[in-house]
Amino acid sequence: MASSSSSSSTLMKYHVFLSFRGEDTRLNFTTHLLQALKDEGLDVFFDEEKLERGDQLSQALSRAIAVSNISIIVLSADYASSKSCLVELSDIMDRYSVGQHIVRPIFYHVNPSDVVKIDGSFKKSFDEHKTKRSVDEVKQWETAFAEVGKLQAWHIDGSRSDGPETQYIKDIVAYVMQKLMKHQVFLSLGEDTRLNFSNHLVNALEKVGINVFPDYETLKKGEKLPPTYSRAISASNLSILVLSKAYAS
């Protein structure tokens, strides 16, 4: 399943890219958020291993960010201690800065002002990076980190007066669905036109500023249409059906 963003002619593969530090939230909040997104039929890039990868963001991760509609960044207390998280964040914010990406952070049990000012546990992490990395590299990470702190975000502080995490997850899923459903055209197509005519049609529509949700889901006999697709059809102004030889198959 894939949807398309009007900001780029690149066909989207993932609805959501989840950026997080595994040791902080993998076994609790992030896993619950992932499941809630999947329950809505959304395709989510979730890096299972989250290993330190050296100096460069892996091509696979960079490509995953490029073909995702939205990045959700779970900024936990030790997020900035991970070099791979910071390289990942820098790539996300580069795409955001040129209007090619939707980004929404989650301040998870951290003070939002500490993100913008790079204070608290984040300052300690960046000070550690400065002893091992180049000045320019760390500066790039600091800039991206401070910028993401200025974006509209969810703040889950974990206090007794705070709402339950389950409600935050519902709100996040609702936000993602609302962003994805802003399509003017729903394109229904067969497998035999995906890489030629339909692909060219999507690109042509996007070039003139028309949002398109292309039906790239291949259903097996007896399978139901994912709820994401039903909502996309309802939210679209127009549906175009490419009736090819393989359409009914």
CA quadruple 236, 237, 243, 247: dihedral, nearest 10: 10
Select which of 40, 88, 165, 191 is catalytic.
88
Looking at residue 83, its amino acid is K
Burial group, residue 20, by CB count within 10 angstroms (0-12, 13-18, 19+): buried
Catalytic-residue membership of 88: yes
Distances from the Cα of 124 to the Cαs of 56, 81, 86, 139, in angstroms? 22, 8, 14, 15
Q: How far apart are CA 188 and CA 241, in angstroms?
A: 5
How far apart, in Å, do the first and last CA atoms of the chain sit? 17
Tokens for 121, please give them.
């546990």
Residues classed as catalytic: 88
